[in-house]
Amino acid sequence: MSNGNLSEEEILERAAEERAAIVARYDRGRDNVVDPWEDPKFELYHVTDKYGFIHNYRLPEKYTVHEAKVRDQENIRINKWIKMLGSWDKYYPTTEKLRRRVYKGVPNAVRAAVWLRLLDVARIRAEQEGKYWEMRERARKWSPDIRQIDLDVNRTYRNNVMFRERYGVKQQALFHVLAAYSVYNTEVGYCQGMSQIAALLLMYMNEEDAFWAISVLMTDERHAMHGFFIQGFPKLRRFQEHHDRVLSKLLPKLKKHLDRFEIHTSLYTLKWFFQCFLDRVPFTLTLRLWDAYVLDGEPVLTAMSYTLLRLHRKTLLKMGMEEMIDFLQARLEQDFGYHDDAAMEALQASMEELRKHNLAIPGRAPPNELPQRPFGLELPLPSPRGIKKKAVTNGSNESHGESVRSLDNAEQAENGGPPSCENLRRASPRDNEDATSSVVDPLSSRTSLAETSQTSAADLSSFSSPSATLRRTPSLYDNVDYRESLEAASRSPDAVRIYVPYHGSGGETPLASSPIPNGDMTPTNQDPNKLTIHVDLHYGSCDGQEDDDDALRTEL
């Protein structure tokens, strides 16, 4: 029986079975086996740094002169921070002394305590006692995002010993935090990009504290990340437009150079704004930026974006398009070119400069970026009739009055232009839709990337073709500036990373699959579950007739 012939009850039953199977794997945890890495002589211990990241080379046994100096300074600062934490009310709300110490760097040993104090997690947790566990239990039964969360947990910081073990303690915590938040904040639900933020917090906190820390980051006035992750990403667009204004005002020569090669802001700022530079600068500098971000919020994002380009403007001006993209998205993470202290000093100077030019932040968040619904309410559960309607309408959310097509049409009206060829194509029903993948809860305004397939989810790079952007749930990894030139995008082949869970051959694959083998990863640069597909795109005419040279070439 094909998915299209399933009855309403069967659709609901299969969705529940799949969710229960995923949850059961996290409940069971790791298989009771002894891994080679538990041997003290195993090479893993020689390639793991102080933050738990596994490298592909042996780390030096001795500190460099600079590293030794940083270590000694941190040890001295630990005692100062312990005293400050002991009399916290004296320094917080923020005083100049607290700000100065934060920008000098919070010692790793007290970072968890400092972040929790700055975010006021203890107070919120006490006021909402038991709420996290209630949300966690509800998510196990009703979260519409369980499948996508499971996929993303499996590929979040797998090069870190904390998250290396499939279904290990930290993977379990990450799964629970993301699932609980998906039903706590129903406007956001779950969006790709949240998994790394949650994982970063879990490196320093337990799961309940990490849950409330995410809640504060999403909703308080300083950070207001809610607008980054809701449908349409309105805050991302606003910050990208502001970034363009900063460059035009303060780095006009570099701005012209970027425009010359059609390197739009959306190609390189996604993780800058979504995740406060996670995976875009070295991890030690990322932590320093997060120290400042937790304290000061939005001004850190705009100022560091300007600082990074200002520090490297001479290098960028000598590069072509591909070199610049690689430099901004990959090379800076490996070597920023400046010590962390120098980068933070430059950040503070940039913050002052932007304040003088009245460019510190894009302005107060408009109402459409702020939460509109109460958090953690027990809303009506999905009915079989609602689910069947979802399957028939290919995922359009009638209860919210929003759909992919309405979002496209709104953007076209905003741009003052008629519907594009791609919008007309997008408006037609998708063939061979997986009916069960259309099962979504009224609790969430977004569907999972897994909606595109029963057994795979595509994670597009920032070179993703704009013509394909809204064929599935908007993702952090998409180029979400839909107004960019299709011609510019088509000149660079897309790189698509596809994660395909293994299923045995023969017959229809049930959604409630049997438990998969232990998925632990060993230190390696190549994930055996990844297929890299290079796609050359040629666009047909708007009348629906494809050009003769349209082709799709894949290389496995």
In this structure, what token pair is assigned to residue 384? 């079989």
What are the φ and ψ backbone dihedral angles of 104, each rounded to 5 degrees? -75, -20
**How far apart are alpha carbons 201 and 428 in whole angstroms?**
42
pLDDT of residue 218: 97
**How far apart are alpha carbons 101 and 80 in whole angstroms?**
9
**Which among 151, 190, 193 has a CA at the least distance from the CA of 530?**
151
Cβ atoms 279, 270 nearer than 8 A = no
pLDDT of residue 251: 98
pTM of the predicted model as reported, rounded to 2 decimal places: 0.69
Give me the helices (H) in 143-251, please: 146-153, 169-184, 194-202, 207-219, 226-229, 234-250
pLDDT in single tens digits along all 556 residues of the chain: 455 678 888 888 888 899 999 999 898 887 655 455 555 446 777 788 889 998 888 888 788 888 888 888 888 999 999 999 999 999 888 789 999 999 999 999 999 999 999 999 999 999 999 999 999 999 999 999 999 999 999 999 999 999 999 999 999 999 999 999 999 999 999 998 999 999 999 999 999 999 999 999 999 999 999 999 999 999 999 999 999 999 999 999 999 999 999 999 999 999 999 999 999 999 999 999 999 999 999 999 999 999 999 999 999 999 999 999 999 999 999 999 999 999 999 999 999 999 999 999 998 899 999 999 999 987 665 554 444 433 333 333 333 333 333 333 433 433 444 333 333 333 333 333 333 333 333 333 343 333 322 233 333 233 233 332 222 333 443 333 333 333 333 333 334 444 444 444 444 434 443 444 444 444 444 444 444 444 444 444 444 444 444 333 333 3
**Which among 127, 93, 97, 88 has a CA at the least distance from the CA of 212?**
127
Other C-beta atoms closer than 10 Å to the C-beta of 507 total 7
pLDDT of residue 521: 45
**236 Cβ contact partners less than 8 Å away, ≥ 6 residues apart:** 227, 228, 270, 273, 274, 480
Cβ atoms 462, 471 nearer than 8 A = no
- CATH class in words for 11-223: mainly alpha
**How far apart are alpha carbons 291 and 479 in whole angstroms?**
28
**Which among 127, 75, 134, 64 has a CA at the least distance from the CA of 105?**
75
**How far apart are alpha carbons 476 and 461 in whole angstroms?**
9
**381 Cβ contact partners less than 8 Å away, ≥ 6 residues apart:** 142, 441
Give the tens place of pLDDT for each residue, 460-482: 233 233 332 222 333 443 333 33
pLDDT of residue 13: 87
- What is the 8-class DSSP label of residue 316? H
**Which among 393, 475, 407, 482 has a CA at the least distance from the CA of 440?**
393
**How far apart are alpha carbons 385 and 8 in whole angstroms?**
7
pLDDT of residue 36: 56
Q: Which residue has the tokens 């211990």?
A: 45
Handedness of CA 452, 456, 457, 462 (dihedral sign): negative
Segments making up each domain of the chain, as ranges:
11-223, 234-368, 378-535
Cβ atoms 266, 240 nearer than 8 A = yes
**Which among 499, 486, 493 has a CA at the least distance from the CA of 551?**
493
In this structure, what token pair is assigned to residue 108? 């790793």
The superfamily in CATH containing domain 234-368 is Ypt/Rab-GAP domain of gyp1p, domain 3 (1.10.472.80)
pLDDT of residue 11: 84
Sheet holding 494-499, edge to edge: 457-460, 494-499, 530-535
